[in-house]
């Protein structure tokens, strides 16, 4: 199920990879990574070195993103995004090559047009899915071409797995202090951990048991949280401010609009201390209220579409004539309801895991990743819920904002982790528009699709 037909080229490539294995692990792994799943064209050079089996170091030699300009459409336009990948990817790869480490020996180097000699990457990492298939193919096919040209392996990376693993990379970066704890053991999530992936396209709660075993505990049955916040922002934020936005990530614009002073604006936030308080309806001074989805159930489901639709209804009833103060209140309330709904389901998931697996290793880490993870109010709500609901011992780990959104550095790290585990991807593999994380899903999860090749390795 997991293996594709092995061609002569694949066998040759396998032999090359295996013969270099011991050399690779002595010096670490270097990858050129490509991400083109949606509207961000991104290329990175990522290196992982290991002094011993415990201490790992990571370095991002190069990372650059170019986001397609779809502001005229007030959202991602598939054709414009595809054209942006086609126009920018090759130039980004060319630019990245100059940031490869200097060659260590003539046998593993590539010569650049400026006459310099650079270390050849050990593998190519490229997003295989999920995402927009046409966009994915631009990056995947470029990765295949580089794999053939340099005669090195390629790993087709699962985009959502890469988000999950990003904090593991961040914990290895020099000078990393992206959490409220300075102790390394608090910022290197070890399996098992609970993950929240929230972005414009995904909202899922995941029980991450191992590198390739991630059980989906809850997911949005309608709109992703990021998309809901983007839609709410288009209704709430004045048009003059939206026009000045540099991208269509309007949820970030909404956060800046309603919390201009950052965390100081929600310093007095207090979470509902129990489920009974969650049921209390909050009427605003303006006469409207937003209902929290599934507030009267313990269903492990996520739903956000009603929030953006209610916001749209309120704004239309006012003929878009809301005062600045009312817009701020509506934006804050939309975020609060979204975040408390997510936090409530997170607590339920943790309670289920504690009840069903009393003998299993206790989950100590909550990983939050995806574009919405950069929202500081979300992190405050999650921390507050954990504190009052009996999970105050847990650490919340999130990447710094520049690594929360789609980027090639996370693809590179995931590629390295998969390659270290012995996995690489056959050159016949195709992009996948849909690709689940859960091995119990119909498609078999991360290792389900054809195209994986496994090399038995001893690091």
Asked whether the predicted pLDDT for residue 190 surpasses 90, the reply is: no
CA distances from 189 to 72, 240, 367, 398 (A): 40, 42, 8, 10
What per-residue confidence (pLDDT) applies to 185?
40
Angle formed by the axes of helices 376-388 and 324-356, nearest 10°: 40
| Confidence at 359, pLDDT banded by 50, 70, 90 | low
State the Cα–Cα distance between residues 333 and 232, nearest whole angstrom. Answer: 11
3-state SS of the chain: helix, strand, coil percent to 5?
Answer: 45, 20, 40
What per-residue confidence (pLDDT) applies to 106?
59
Give Cβ neighbours of residue 260 (< 8 Å, ≥ 6 apart). Answer: none
Which has more pLDDT, 266 or 362?
266
Q: Which residue shows structure tokens 């709410």?
A: 232
Which has more pLDDT, 46 or 182?
46
- Strand-pair partners of 56: 50
What per-residue confidence (pLDDT) applies to 18?
41
Q: Identify whether the C-beta of residue 208 lies closer than 8 Å to the C-beta of residue 164.
A: yes
State the Cα–Cα distance between residues 172 and 253, nearest whole angstrom. Answer: 31
Give Cβ neighbours of residue 102 (< 8 Å, ≥ 6 apart). Answer: 116, 117, 118, 119
Q: How confident is the model over 398-453, as pLDDT tens digits?
A: 999 999 999 999 999 999 999 999 999 999 999 999 999 999 999 999 999 999 99
State the Cα–Cα distance between residues 152 and 16, nearest whole angstrom. Answer: 8
Fold topology of 8-177+405-454? Nucleotidyltransferase; domain 5 (3.30.420)
Instruction: Please count the other Cβ atoms lying within 10 Å of the Cβ belonging to residue 109.
Output: 16
Q: What is the DSSP letter of 102?
A: B
What per-residue confidence (pLDDT) applies to 454?
96
State the Cα–Cα distance between residues 262 and 362, nearest whole angstrom. Answer: 33
Asked whether the predicted pLDDT for residue 459 surpasses 50, the reply is: no
Q: How confident is the model over 276-329, as pLDDT tens digits?
A: 888 888 889 999 999 999 888 889 999 999 999 999 999 999 998 999 999 999
| Confidence at 203, pLDDT banded by 50, 70, 90 | very high
Rounded mean pLDDT of 193-201? Answer: 92
Asked whether the predicted pLDDT for residue 175 surpasses 70, the reply is: no
Q: How confident is the model over 111-164, as pLDDT tens digits?
A: 999 999 999 999 999 999 999 999 999 999 999 999 999 999 999 999 999 999
Rounded mean pLDDT of 254-279? Answer: 94
Dihedral-angle region of residue 390 (phi above 0 means left; psi in -120 to 50 means alpha; beta otherwise): left
Torsions phi, psi for 372 (to 5 deg): -75, -15
Asked whether the predicted pLDDT for residue 66 surpasses 70, the reply is: yes
168, 250, 161, 255: which is closest to 204 by C-alpha? 161
Asked whether the predicted pLDDT for residue 14 surpasses 70, the reply is: no
Q: Which residue shows structure tokens 């996520």?
A: 302
45, 51, 11: which is closest to 31 by C-alpha? 45
Portion of the chain with pLDDT greater than 70, in percent: 87
Where in the chain is CATH 3.30.420.40?
A: 8-177+405-454, 184-398
Asked whether the predicted pLDDT for residue 375 surpasses 90, the reply is: yes
State the Cα–Cα distance between residues 44 and 266, nearest whole angstrom. Answer: 36
Asked whether the predicted pLDDT for residue 220 surpasses 80, the reply is: yes
Rounded mean pLDDT of 28-48? Answer: 96
What per-residue confidence (pLDDT) applies to 361?
63
433, 411, 278: which is closest to 343 by C-alpha? 278
Q: Does domain 184-398 have CATH number 3.30.420.40?
A: yes
**Which residues of 68-202 form beta strands (DSSP E)?**
109-111, 117-119, 123-129, 154-158, 193-198
CA distances from 320 to 1, 114, 344 (A): 55, 57, 32
State the Cα–Cα distance between residues 296 and 275, nearest whole angstrom. Answer: 8
């Amino acid at each position: 199920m997991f293996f594709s037909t092995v061609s002569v080229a694949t066998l040759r490539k396998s032999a090359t990879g295996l013969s270099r294995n011991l050399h690779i692990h002595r010096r670490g792994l270097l990858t050129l990574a490509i991400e083109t799943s949606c509207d961000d064209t991104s290329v990175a050079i990522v290196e992982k070195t290991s002094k011993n089996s415990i201490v790992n170091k990571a370095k991002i030699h190069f990372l650059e993103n170019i986001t397609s300009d779809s502001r005229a459409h007030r959202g991602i336009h598939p054709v414009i995004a595809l054209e942006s990948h086609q126009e920018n990817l090759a130039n980004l790869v060319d630019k990245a090559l100059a940031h490869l480490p200097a060659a260590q020996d003539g046998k593993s180097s590539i010569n650049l047009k400026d006459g310099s000699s650079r270390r050849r990457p050990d593998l190519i990492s490229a997003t295989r899915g999920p995402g927009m298939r046409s966009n994915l193919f631009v990056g995947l096919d470029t990765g295949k071409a580089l794999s053939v040209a340099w005669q090195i392996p390629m790993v087709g990376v699962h985009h959502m797995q890469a988000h999950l693993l990003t904090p593991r990379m961040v914990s290895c970066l020099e000078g990393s202090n992206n959490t409220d704890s300075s102790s390394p053991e608090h910022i290197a999530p070890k399996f098992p951990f609970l993950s929240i992936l929230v972005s414009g396209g995904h909202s899922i709660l995941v029980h991450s048991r191992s590198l390739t075993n991630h059980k989906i505990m809850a997911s949005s049955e309608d709109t992703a949280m990021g998309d809901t916040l983007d839609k709410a922002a288009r209704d709430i934020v004045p048009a003059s401010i939206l026009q000045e936005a540099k991208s269509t990530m309007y949820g970030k614009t909404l956060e800046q609009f309603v919390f201009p002073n950052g965390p100081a604006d929600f310093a007095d936030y207090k979470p509902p201390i129990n489920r009974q308080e969650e049921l209390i309806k909050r009427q605003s001074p303006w006469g409207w209220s937003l209902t929290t989805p599934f507030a009267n159930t313990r269903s492990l489901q996520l739903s956000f579409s009603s929030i953006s639709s209610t916001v749209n209804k309120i704004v239309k009833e006012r003929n878009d004539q809301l005062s600045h103060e009312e817009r701020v209140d509506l934006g804050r309330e939309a975020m609060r309801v979204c975040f408390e709904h997510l936090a409530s389901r997170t607590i339920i998931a943790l309670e289920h895991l504690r009840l069903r697996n009393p003998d299993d290793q206790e989950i100590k880490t909550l990983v939050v990743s995806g574009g919405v993870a950069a929202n500081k109010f979300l992190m405050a709500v999650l921390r507050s819920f954990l504190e009052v609901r009996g999970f105050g011992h847990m650490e919340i780990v999130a990447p710094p904002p520049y690594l929360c959104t789609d980027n090639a550095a996370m693809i590179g790290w995931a590629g390295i982790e998969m390659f270290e585990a012995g996995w690489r991807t056959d050159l016949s593999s195709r992009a996948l528009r849909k690709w689940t994380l859960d091995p119990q899903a119909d498609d078999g999860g991360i290792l389900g699709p054809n195209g994986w090749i496994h090399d038995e390795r001893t690091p």
